[in-house]
Amino acid sequence: MSNAMFTATATIAALGLALHAGAASATDLVNQDEIDYTLTLTDDAGSHTVEIASATEILDACEGCTITLEGIDPITASAHDVVVIIDGTFTVQE
C-alpha cells in the first residue's frame, strides 16, 4: 500500500471514530425480552412513541428523556445512558 493510500485510509478511519464519538451522547434503548414494546419518549421538545422489537436495539433514541412503558414506572435517562428492558422492567447502564 502506498503512503498516500495509507494516509487516506487512516484519515477516513479517524473521521469515522470522531463521528461515532460525537453520536455517543444520545440515549440508546435495548430490548432483551422476547416481546415487542411501545415506548413513549418525552423530552423538552415533546413526546413521541417508538416501537422496539424483541431482541433489538435503538441507537440514539433521544438526547436524554423520560421513557414510559405502560404498566411500569417511567425512567429518566441521561444523554449517554443505555436503557435496557429485561423482564418487562428498565435497567440503566451508564
Which residue range forms the structural domain that includes residue 71? 26-93
- What number of other Cβ atoms are within 10 A of residue 92's Cβ? 14
Would 19 be classed as within a structural domain?
no
Would residue 66 count as lying in a domain?
yes
Q: pLDDT digit string (tens) for 36-72?
A: 999 999 999 999 999 999 999 999 999 999 999 999 9
User: Cα separation of 91 and 83, whole Å?
Assistant: 6
> CA-to-CA distance for 65 and 49, rounded, in angstroms?
12
Task: Say if residues 63 and 80 touch (Cβ distance below 8 Å).
Answer: no
13 occurs within a structural domain: no
Single-letter amino acid, residue 79: A
How many other β-carbons are positioned within 10 Å of the β-carbon of residue 18?
Answer: 10
77, part of any domain = yes
Q: 4 lies in a domain?
A: no
Domains of the chain: total: 1
Q: Does residue 6 lie in a domain region?
A: no
- Say if pTM beats, i.e. exceeds, 0.85: no
Kindly tell me if the per-residue pLDDT of 17 is higher than 90. Answer: no
18 part of a folded domain: no
